[in-house]
Structure 1
Amino acid sequence: MGLGLQEEEEFDQMKLRSLLFVPADSEKKFAKAQESRADGLILDLEDAVAPDRKAIARDMLGNIIAARPDRNWSLWVRVNALDTGLTLSDLSAIVKPGLDGIMVPKSNGAADIQRIGHYLDALEVRAGMARGTVKIIVVATETPVAMFNLGSYSPPHERLAGLTWGAEDLGAVIGSVTNKQSDGEWTQTYRIVRSMCLFAAAAADVARIDTLYADFRDEAGLASSCEASRQDGFTGRIAIHPDQVDTINRCFSPSDADLTQARRIIAAFESQPGIGTIGIDGKMYDIPHLKLAHRIVSAAG
């Protein structure tokens, strides 16, 4: 039994395994980032750009986006948060053909995305772009009030492509001394934050993107962290250095064994239309397993 049209559409999503941050005002780092195998590049207008270079960075970004080079990665821009008063200026400079999406930091909930969506509606018309072209990834856990509004992302805004979380900005607001235990694991507070973001993204049926791994020289630690992340249900991860991309891609791609089993499950259901439960090698599989199998096959490209 195949999935219905609506369920199939769930799997027709932009690939977001690895998203590499790049300062928006550094042509050198952007050139290097393009050589990585990241699924998407996030050109950062927020934390990576000093206040007196924001306008320069916007102009540089406008030229980069307008150039629209041949590429096999999606192009995103992290804009400044709404409470800075800079968001609309950012969007006015970057919404043009070639932009795939934006990342919204310090969102307090879906109402912020609704507001930004209205900005994008008008700016897409000005740029001659189809309505809804520019997608949105939200950093959904950077303010205290955001934690109480995670459920507001479901049902999702039509532009919503993914949710991710962050620890540093939230920590500065709530006054936590550290977000890591002595063994390097997240403290209880941040384990809750991470899990709530995961649940919110799953409820909205959008990409579940884990936060960055700060030590970009620790490949083994990154791999171990990514394996745990994927086991928990995350579908991708933020990278802060090109050297992290290959590890992230590998960890968030199905293994050959996973892919083979997923295809067996799909084929078994398709061979017996109308059956809700089926046995393979002595183990029973039902519709949730079928949906997961389709996700695994989709993740493989």
Structure 2
Amino acid sequence: MKWRSLLFVPADSERKFARAETCGADALVLDLEDSVASGRKAVARDAVKSLLGAAARDWTFLVRINSLGTGLTLADLAAVVRPGLDGILIPKVNGIQDVERISHYVDVLEVAAGIPAGHVKLLTIVTETPAAMLGFARYAAPVPRPDSRLVAMTWGAEDLSVALGALANKEPNGDWTFPYRLARAQCLFAAGAAGVLALDTLYGDYKDQAGLAESCRVARRDGFVGRLAIHPDQVATINACFTPSDADLAHARRVVAAFASQPDVGTVGIDGKMYDVPHLIAAKRTLASAGESADHPGVKTRNPI
């Protein structure tokens, strides 16, 4: 599960899917929601079912379903929870209660489809409603359960802007206005409290590669491990930005090795600088993001996060 780049693809567009599956994205998000017209929802579901039965692939297969408020959620889930599906992206959640409700639906549908229990993971867009902005503390305790399907959170500004009646969500220089900077930060905090991945939102101007790269740099600096994409041309830039450099990996290996050689100490010195347990955790996270075992630096794992 290495999710640097998650590319949205309208589920009813065979042409766009054909391009998307060769662009190098870590995950494709087949969209049943905003990019599919109301009259084509059934067509889109049938397309997803066909694609799920296709040959082996080297990317993760996710589906964004329609939100609980639409009345379409159960039909979406019944159509797509089948062998080949890796995860569900849930939009417009009002809080952890919506995530738990979807999880219970998937529990039943996995059994019906003969899928191993817990295989289908859940990702959520946690900032799309005003109610969602008031319930982040519940992601920390007492849920999600230890066996929760929830593995990642991301955020969005457009639906929240509409719900608030905002005239704009960005400053003239392109920076987010305060309510949406707050939403971004809350997503980071909630993901950290829940122990799941934090993924940054879309970068709307898919032709602005320099702006995308800078936005990714800031996102990675702040703690995001990947981001959503709306165009195949964004994927290479996103992947590069969220992939540790050789220098980053070399340093992380040194930190891990230093602590491993002195298991009874809480701090170690490297090149005249002191490192403590938070640095060790960060180093292990860096190695994991590149697919290396934190216990055996330099050795690739099967499912890096």
With the shorter chain as reference, the TM-score category is over 0.9
Instruction: Give 1:156 shift.
Output: 2.8
- Using the size of structure 1 for normalisation, the TM-score is 0.94
- The offset of 1:66, in angstroms, is 2.1
Alpha-carbon displacement from aligned partner over 1:1-59 (angstroms, at most 9, x marks no partner):
xxxxxxxxxxxxx1111000000000111110001111100000000000000011101
Q: Which residue of 1 aligns with 2:44?
A: 57
Instruction: Summarize deviations over 1:193-249 as a string: whole Å, max 9, x none.
Output: 100111111111111000000000000000011001111111100010000001001
Whether 1:262 and 2:248 are equivalent positions in the alignment is: no
Aligned to 1:196: 186
| Paired letter, 1:86 | L
| Amino acid corresponding to residue 38 of structure 1 in structure 2 | A
- Relative contact order, higher structure (CA 8 A, sep 6+): 1
Distance 1:144 1:188 in 2: 14
Q: Which has the higher helix share?
A: 1
Q: 2:144 aligns with which of 151, 156, 161?
A: 156
Deviation at 1:258, TM superposition (A): 1.0
Does residue 126 (structure 1) correspond to residue 112 (structure 2)? The answer is: yes
| Aligned partner of residue 279 in structure 1, secondary structure | strand
Deviations along 1:70-117, one digit per CA (max 9) or x if unpaired, are: 111100000000010100000000000100000000000110011111
Distance in 2 (CA, whole Å) between partners of 1:176 and 1:208 is 25
The AA in structure 2 aligned to 1:22 is V
RMSD after superposition: 0.8
Matched, 1:248 2:248: no
**Gaps (5+ residues) in structure 2?**
292-305
In the other structure, the counterpart of 2:207 is 217
Query: Percent of aligned pairs with the same residue?
Result: 59
* Count of matched residue positions in the alignment of Structure 1 and Structure 2: 287
TM-score by length of 2: 0.93
Q: Which residue of the partner structure matches residue 292 of structure 1?
A: 282
2:121 pairs with 1:135: yes
Within 2, Cα distance between the matches of 1:178 and 1:134?
36
The letter for the 2-side match of 1:109 is G
Q: Where do residues 57-136 of structure 1 align in structure 2 (5 Å cutoff)?
A: 57-67=44-54, 69-136=55-122
Residue 278 of structure 2 aligns to a residue in which SS? helix
Gaps of 5+ in 1: 1-13
Aligned-partner Cα distance in 2 for 1:172–1:280: 51
**What residue in structure 2 maps to residue 173 of structure 1?**
163
| Structure 1 letter corresponding to 2:200 | D
